[in-house]
Amino acid sequence: MSMKKFFLPVLFLFGIQITMAQIKKIEPPFWWSDMHHGTLQIMFYGDNIADYRVSSNDFVITGITKTENPNYLFVTIETQDVAPGTYTFDFVNGDLAYAKEYEFQSRRQDAALRQGFDSSDMVYLLMPDRFANGDPDIDSTDDTTEKADRSKQGGRHGGDIQGVIDHLDYIEELGATALWSTPLCEDNDAGFSYHGYAQSDVYKIDSRYGTNEDYKNLAAELHKRDMKLIMDYVTNHWGAQHWMIKDLPTYDWIHQFPGYANSNYRMTTQYDPHASKIDTRYNEDGWFVPSMPDLNQRNPLVTTYLIQNAIWWIEFADLDGLRVDTYSYNDKENIAKWTKAIMDEYPNFNIVGEVWLHDSAQISFWQKDSKIGAIENFNSHLPTVMDFTLQDALMAQHNEEASWDGGMMRTYNNFVNDFLYPDINNLLIFAENHDTNRINQQINGSLENYKLIMTLLATTRGIPQLYYGSEIGMRGDKGKGDGDIRRDFPGGWEDDKNNAFTAGGRTAEQEAYHAFTKKVFNFRKSTPVIHTGKLLHYLPDNDVYVFFRYSEKERIMVVINNNKEAQTFDMARFSEGIADKTSGIDIISDQEINLSEKFTIQGKTSAIIELK
């Protein structure tokens, strides 16, 4: 502050012209004191800003980087001893000079020790544009191109942050303890901008969803309910409309071939010992789609920018986790650096990466401390990966006959490979998400099969994720376009005839789906042995899969009968899992089960038996 009061008048005395029109953007826009990282890279953007000499009496400047684009200046400062307050940078270019303030804020108490989502949580995934319209006044905004039109499958429909906040009680009552929303930062594409993965400003919430403060309020409202907020973060690419893409800081800020080349999507090249360099390059450096330029994390300015942006959102909005889109398309060494930097800042945090592969060994390569990754001396530092092989099994097992490797054997065989993972509790498990066919579409609207799937997700190892609307039987066919698997939640708009957010507004079929989902996931929420207990399972017999979750004090027996016919079996086979217990209560039917007798389970039904 003292520099600002003294510097400008002195310049006038010496006849130097003052101008305040140079800087258009500063990123990060502000920072915090007492962060683990001892340096900060501040990007100043403005017309010919690189022509100016920058200095500060308040900060120790350790580096100034100019690029081939004179509109950018990257200034690195030491932050370890910077107290909360407003400080000054001074810019001079001949007879032109000005001062720019920069703020350091106080951190929340114990901000560094925040607890991320874990296996005690159930994650509810929603697409905000398709969930609920809480503020119709912002359906279309002046600063964004695409306007709301619910008649278009791929258009903006008007869902927003306020709509999510309005229905947090509904999400909580369902048994969810964490919320994952697809990206909320500005996506200013002319079409299909509703999905948010082509971001045009990564420091700004899209105005059609609300404001940065609205997003912070969403986290606060979740925390009041002892729930967590997971941000969908994109490190691999931005949208072509991003303001920096339109005025690149450096030619190699994005991958150039020169110009555009599409990814070959062959993520196996990341660890294939026989992969050609050109195939590897097109996977890592190729653009996901033409409207999403691929970011070059080998450029240290880019990686530092992404690290700081992620930390800024965690600190600003008080986040509890990140889900990283297309994780395995990034340059693996630098995405590991990005991940480690965040986990070093927040050691109890959690990050889940989208590793969309169909082999357990290949997926496990990407989890922190992977023995398979260690073969290449690689450690991703990524705590959680997504169990796509389990999702594959769940998509298939209910539409095929039992066989040597079919039916419930698909699920059994998936868990056989758990030895590959360093931490099986840190696997995100799911039947579907916003990029796959709806599970209720795959099982042709079978409530029986839905119950079997939810029984498994609610009781096996890992962190279960539920996709919005599944709990009321929503369907969608990806073959008809992504918009079909991302339909509007009924009741999210004032003129909707069916309001599935309320028991009175749900149809009988919707209520049947909802009641079962609510029962099993609320049981899971209050049953710690499911969160961290060991898993013991038995080979499926006649398409009946039996497994136990157990600890020294608690035991749960789960029976899933995928056979259309009733099955009767002797409990003696499961004595290892039953141990010294003699009876139990099936929380699905509320019936008492005598564990010393034969047990009959009806066709296409399941049981979750709390052993006594």
The CA distance from 66 to 466, in Å, is 46
> What's the predicted TM-score (pTM) here?
0.96
- Read off the pLDDT of residues 298-347 as tens digits, 9 standing for 90 and up: 999 999 999 999 999 999 999 999 999 999 999 999 999 999 999 999 99
Q: In this structure, what token pair is assigned to residue 174?
A: 């369902």
Phi, psi of 339 (to 5 degrees): -65, -45
DSSP-based three-state secondary structure for 303? helix
Angle of helix 300-317 relative to helix 212-224, nearest 10 degrees, comes to: 50
- pLDDT by residue (tens digit) across 484-543? 999 999 999 999 999 999 999 999 999 999 999 999 999 999 999 999 999 999 999 999
| All domains in the chain, ordered by first residue | 2-107 (2.60.40.10), 122-229+431-526 (3.20.20.80), 534-611 (2.60.40.1180)
Q: Which helix (H) or strand (E) holds 232?
A: strand 228-234
Digit-coded pLDDT (tens) for 449-471: 999 999 999 999 999 999 999 99
Q: Helix, strand, coil shares of the chain as percentages rounded to 5?
A: 30, 25, 45
Catalytic residue among 325, 331, 471, 488: 325
Active site residue 325: yes
| Predicted local confidence at residue 7, as pLDDT | 37
Instruction: Decide: 244 and 225 in contact? Cβ < 8 Å.
Output: no
Q: Is there a catalytic annotation at residue 354? A: yes
Give the span between the Cα atoms of 184 and 234, in whole angstroms: 11
Catalytic residue among 284, 315, 320, 354: 354
Reported as a single tens digit per residue, the pLDDT across 248-277 is 999 999 999 999 999 999 999 999 999 999
- In angstroms, the CA 173 to CA 515 distance is 11
Eight-state DSSP code of residue 206: -
Phi and psi torsions of 26, nearest 5°: -130, 125
